[in-house]
Amino acid sequence: MEYSTFGRHVAIDTWGVQFDLLNDAEFLKKEMIEAAEACGATVLGVQAKQFSPQGATVLVLLSESHLSIHTYPERGFAALDCYTCGETVDPQVAIDYMVSVLQPQKVYAKKLVRGVGELEVLDPEIHVPEMASK
């Protein structure tokens, strides 16, 4: 069987996320697993670290590659990325899932198409849910 080297890598910076969401490694771990499963990826393992006094890192190892988040709750910031090899698992689905969970005020995103020669850099469409009025 011949395997394709094609892959997609979506990286986003989110700003304006609630402190409590970004400062809970166990919550993020649960949601990251859900995000990986939502895009059809196969979860091989998960590492989560809660930092003191705040912040978290979660890495979801996928058969197709990875999904990760690193947070700075005091700044309302999280960096997320998802890379998947092949045509069948779309990393955009996992990223969109996490955006729906975190509900950031701002998102900056890039998508790399990899494994087909020179890297292609795209601006993906990211759906940012409307913030609930207070």
**pLDDT tens string 75-119:** 999 999 999 999 999 999 999 999 999 999 999 999 999 998 888
Phi, psi of 5 (to 5 degrees): -90, 0
- Condensed to tens digits (0 to 9), the pLDDT of residues 2-18 reads 778 999 999 999 999 99
pLDDT at residue 129 is higher than 80: no
Q: Between 3.30.565.10, 3.60.90.10, 3.90.400.10, 1.10.10.60, what CATH number should domain 7-122 receive?
A: 3.60.90.10
Phi, psi of 97 (to 5 degrees): -60, -45
CA distance 132 to 130: 6
Domain locations along the chain: 7-122
- Condensed to tens digits (0 to 9), the pLDDT of residues 32-76 reads 999 999 999 999 999 999 999 999 999 999 999 999 999 999 999
Catalytically active residues, by annotation: 65, 70, 85
